[in-house]
Every structure is written in structure tokens, then in C-alpha cells.
Structure 1
Amino acid sequence: MKILMIGDVVGELGRRTLRDYLAQCVQIYTPDMVIVNGENAANNGRGMNRSIAQEFFSLGVHCITLGNHAWGQPEIFDFIDREQRIVRPANYPSDSPGNGYTILSTPAGKVAVVNLMGRALMSTLDCPFVKIDAVLQKIPTSAFVFVDMHAETTSEKQAMGWYLDGRASAVIGTHTHVQTGDARILSKGTGFLTDVGMVGPYDGILGMKREAVIRRYVTQLPVRFEVATGRSQLNAVYLELDRQTKMTKKIKTIRIDDEHPLMG
């Protein structure tokens, strides 16, 4: 089983970058499943609408994960309940729209994709550790288990990785938009990366126009953030999973920008 996980797609530039590079990534890595975090994909960097989801699926994406901006576009409420290929954090309140996990079939087997959100420096949600235990009880042992841990702090993401070591095929962090250098296979076989990074503006700050972000820090006043323009980047991670053990055999980070062209 081969999985390609694409980091948080930010704004129109992020979507254009995904269009530019996804087909080449698929040609090189031939993944059985492509997962994309789309919670920043709208033009203003908050949420995702129906047309964006349809575009991602048309590009060959199999599953879209979300995060703290899941409800950033009101249109999401019109279709998330009916779209099994989109998952929002499972530890949102139980009556929230949509699903916290999904099980999708591929030629190489079934993959359960679970979305979780951290609580440190973020919203007060149900405990992601308690929630994932409940979710795992519902997933057949024959399925690979891929977890998108959408969290602010590296410690909470690493804690989830070790908590699920040997129980999940992979735990990949999202949200902080900077790819970390700790891709590894934990002691019981779970593939782990603290943060996969982002897709979109290369010269902004976490995808936003840097002038506004700097002004916020300097003045401590409310500032409206806008998605940056200019050069772009794509960050992703590629995993190979063992069909028998359901654990990770190989994990490799991918970074594409002007200084790091796409290579096989």
C-alpha cells in the first residue's frame, strides 16, 4: 500500500500549485491513495467549498481532511454529510456535521482515514486520545489506519504518534504549515511526521502576506490576514505500508519549490 499525503493547501495559489505538480507526483510515486488537507483551500485561506472539493477529486485526490477551519465556508454544510471522501476532526462534538473518519477501498486494500484536532493552543474539543480509542474500535483490523493529527504544538502531535505506535499505520501532523525534518518509523512500526508542511505561497508567513503578520506582532493590534502571492511550494510525504502488518516500511518527505525541483 502506497500513500501520498499532501500538506495544507492554502488559497488559490495553493490550488494552482496542486494542479501543477500532483500529476507528476503521482507518476513518480504511483500511490494507491492520495490524501490532501483542504482546510485552508478557499481563496481567503479559511475552509473549503464544493467546487474546490470537486476540483481536488478531479485531480486524483481520494480523500480530503480538514481541521480548525472546517466550517470556514458556509457552503460546507450543504454537502459534507453526503461526501464520504471528506473527513473533519473526529473529536468535534458528536452532533457536528460530517464524519471524523472514513474507510475507502483501493486496489491494495482498505484505508481508514481519521482526522483529529489537538487541544493545546486551539479550540476546546473532546480529547483526541479518548476519541481515537473509540474510533479504532469501529475500524476493521483488515484496514490500514492513516491519522491526520491537526494540531498546534509539536509535543501533542508527537504524543499522538507514540500513543498510536503499533495501532495506526501512520500518524502525520498538519496545521503548522512548516515541514519538519523528523520523518521516521516508530518502534512498533507506525510512520510518523510532526508536520507535513503546506502547499501555496513560498514567500509568505505560513501562507499569509508577511507584512500583515509582522504588523500584528509589532503593533499587537487586530490585523486582517490575506493569502500571499508570488512563488509557490508543495510539501508532502510518501509512505509505503506492509500489507501483512499494516505498518510503515518506508517514509519520505517531498518538497518542491524553485530550489527543490520535482525529481524521481
Structure 2
Amino acid sequence: MRILFIGDVMGEAGQEMFVETVPVLKRSLHPQLTIANGENATRGRGINEKVYKKLLKAGADVITMGNHTWDNQEIQEFIGSTKKLIRPANFSAGQVPGKGYTIVNVNGTKVGVLDMQGRVFMNPSDDPFAVAEEIISQLEKETPVIFVDFHGEATSEKEAFAWNFDGRVSAVVGTHTHVQTNDARILPQGTAFLSDVGFTGPYDGILGMRRSSVIRRFKNQMPTRFEVETSGGQTLGAVVIDVDDQTGRAKKIRNIRVDPDHPFME
């Protein structure tokens, strides 16, 4: 089983980079399952149904979310009717629409996809370790292949989560910081780990936002409206993971960056 995971798709620039690049990656890498984080896909905050369908058409099989899940209210109208869009599972259980995990059938192999959110430097949420323990225990009864998008700020929390579930999930890949890390590895019991996959969108912004607004905020500490950068180059952050279908153990993990400084060579 080869899984391709695309980091936070951000705004229209991220959408277009996704539409342009993901088909190329899929032709070259031949993943059986493509997952993307879409929490910033509509104007940099949240996702609506039009953009959700656009990403599916361009090649995503499952879309995960994060702390901006509810920033676009339209999501509440359709998240409950699809298995292909999931939000963090540790959002107030039973209080919000949608689900935090899904199971997809890939050529006869079931794959569990779980979305979690960290608590360190993030908005309040339920304990990700306790919630994941309950869900993973259920998923293990159906499949050994389980992928986790851990949406969090702190590297230590992401690492702790991966080590805690080493051998019980196939991969734990971090999202949220928009900066791809260089720590891809396979833990001793077979769980692939990467602190952050990076993001997909404006390469010449600051974490995807207009530079001038972000710099001004740092210099004067005044309230500033952040908007997605619309000029300059584009970037795409991804990771590809090979997993043993029978055991669920990861066999290989590889970072991917596509931007003006890192052109993708088919």
C-alpha cells in the first residue's frame, strides 16, 4: 500500500497548485490512496463544498481538517453526509457534526484514516491520546493499516503521540505549521513519522500569508488582517509512505517538496 499525503492546501493558490501538481505526482509515484489536509483551502480558512469537490476531482480520496474546520460555516451543511471529509476526532465528542475518522476500501484492503488535533498552543479540545486510544482500538478490529494526520503546533506533542502508538498505526504525519520538517523516519515498531509535511500554496508568502501584513504585525503588534498571498511562486509539501498491507507496518517514508527551488523530477 502506497499512501500519498498532501500538506495543508491554502487558498486559491493552493487549490491551483494541487490541481496542477497532484496528477503529476500520482502518475509518477502510483499511490493507491491520496489524502490531503484541506483546512485552509477556502480563502485560507476552512473549506466549502465547491472546493471540497474540486480537490476530490483533482485526485484526493480523503480530506482531513484542523483548527480552522469551522471557519467556513458551509462545512456544517455537508460534512455529515460524506465519508471523504473528516475533522479532528477530539473535537467535543457528540457536540459537533462530522466524524474524526473514516475507513476506505483500497483494492480490497481497508485503510483507516484518523484526524487528531493537538492541545499545546492550540484551541481547547479533548485529550488526543485518550480519544485516539478508543478509536484506534476500534479500527484495529477491521484493519492493521491506519494513517493519522496529527494537526498540532508542538513537535514534542506530535512525537509523543507517534511513539505512544508506535506499532499500532502505520503512520503519524503532522500538519499545521506549514513548514516541512526533515525528520522523516520509521519508529522501531513500524510507525512512519514526520513532524510536519508542510503546506500547499504561496511559496513567497509567510506561511502562505501576505508578507507585508505579517511583518507589520511583528513590528507594531497592532491587530492586522491576514490574507493569503496571491503573487509569486507556489509550493507543495507532501510525503509518500509504503505500508505492508498485512501487518500495517511502514516500510518506507519519503518527503516531497515541489517549488521553484525544488522542481519535481518525474
Give the TM-score band, short-chain normalised. over 0.9
1:168-214 CA distance string (max 9 Å, x none): 00000000000000000011110000000000000111100111111
8 A Cα contact 2:144 2:245, kept in partner: no
Aligned counterparts of 2:119 and 2:63: Cα–Cα separation in 1: 21
Q: Specify the alignment match of 1:7 in structure 2.
A: 7
1:142 is displaced (CA, Å) by: 2.4
What TM-score results when the alignment is normalised by the length of structure 1? 0.98
Q: Specify the alignment match of 1:23 in structure 2.
A: 23
Does structure 1 residue 138 correspond to structure 2 residue 138? Answer: yes
8 A Cα contact 1:109 1:143, kept in partner: no
The 5 Å alignment of 1:35-54 reads 35-43=35-43, 45-54=44-53
Name the % identity: 48
Aligned counterparts of 1:91 and 1:188: Cα–Cα separation in 2: 25
Q: Specify the alignment match of 2:92 in structure 1.
A: 93
Letter in 2 for 1:86: L
Question: Which consecutive unaligned segments of at least 5 residues does structure 2 have?
Answer: none
The 5 Å alignment of 1:201-216 reads 201-216=202-217
- Pairs aligned (count): 263
1:44-98 CA distance string (max 9 Å, x none): x000000011111111210000000000111101100001111100000112110
Q: Specify the alignment match of 2:250 in structure 1.
A: 248
Runs of 4+ displaced beyond 4 Å = none
Letter in 2 for 1:231: G
1:243 is displaced (CA, Å) by: 1.6
1:118-160 CA distance string (max 9 Å, x none): 0000111100000000101221242410000000111111111
Aligned counterparts of 1:138 and 1:96: Cα–Cα separation in 2: 21
**Larger CA deviation: 103-112 vs 71-80:** 103-112
User: In structure 2, the residue corresponding to 1:233 is in which secondary structure?
Assistant: strand
Q: Specify the alignment match of 1:119 in structure 2.
A: 119
Does structure 1 residue 64 correspond to structure 2 residue 63? Answer: yes
8 A Cα contact 1:32 1:108, kept in partner: no
Aligned counterparts of 2:27 and 2:108: Cα–Cα separation in 1: 17
Letter in 1 for 2:28: I
Letter in 1 for 2:206: I
Letter in 2 for 1:176: T
Does structure 1 residue 82 correspond to structure 2 residue 72? Answer: no
